């Protein structure tokens, strides 16, 4: 898979490590309904890494996305002051896996406009900053 140039403050080595972590956790997904197993790995500003996988439910709308599980895990461990520097999202089988709209808004809650978001899109790793994926995200003023 090809990768476009990484953004500053996240090295290629860190991106590789996050990708390995995301692939590992994707294997734990509970996805009997879609068979679409997703893993997300967060790199926090503190340098710590947290991961999550999707957890589906037979009442489909109760499904938790991988990104939301990873964020919930990080907040549970460290509290609400976490700041996400980068996130890598993968599908276990290498399928395109762009974060859904709800996950983009959830990432915005704990990220910055510059948070790096990496995900596979048609065989290429897409690297974006969060503001490019969710311009005009909701904020309670």
The catalytic site residues sit at 67
Query: Is 104 or 131 the residue whose CB approaches ligand THU more closely?
Result: 104
Supply the DSSP string of 6-61, one letter for each residue: PPTTS-HHHHHHHHHHHHHHHTT-B-TTT---EEEEEEETTS-EEEEE-B--SSGG
CB 24 to ligand THU: min, Å? 15
What is the distance between the alpha carbons of residues 79 and 118, in angstroms, rounded to a whole number?
24
Which residues form the interface with ligand THU (CB under 6 A)? 31, 34, 36, 38, 54, 56, 63, 65-67, 99-100, 103
Query: Is 13 or 94 the residue whose CB approaches ligand THU more closely?
Result: 94
CB 83 to ligand THU: min, Å? 20
Token output for 99: 């974060």
Query: Is 5 or 86 the residue whose CB approaches ligand THU more closely?
Result: 86
CB 128 to ligand THU: min, Å? 14
* 68 contact partners, CB below 8 Å, separation of at least 6: 52, 102, 103, 106
């Amino acid at each position: 898979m090809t990768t476009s140039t990484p953004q500053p403050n996240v090295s290629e080595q860190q991106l590789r490590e996050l990708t390995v972590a995301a692939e590992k956790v994707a294997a734990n997904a509970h996805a009997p309904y879609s068979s679409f197993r997703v893993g997300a790995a967060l790199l926090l500003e503190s340098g710590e890494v947290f991961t999550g996988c999707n957890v589906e439910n037979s009442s489909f709308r109760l499904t938790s996305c991988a990104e939301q599980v990873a964020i919930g895990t990080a907040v549970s461990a460290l509290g609400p002051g976490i700041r996400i520097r980068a996130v890598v999202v993968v599908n276990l089988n290498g399928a395109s896996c762009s974060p859904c709209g709800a996950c983009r808004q959830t990432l915005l809650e704990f990220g910055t406009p510059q948070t790096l978001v990496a995900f596979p899109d048609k065989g290429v790793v897409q690297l974006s900053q969060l503001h490019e994926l969710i311009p005009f995200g909701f904020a309670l003023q």
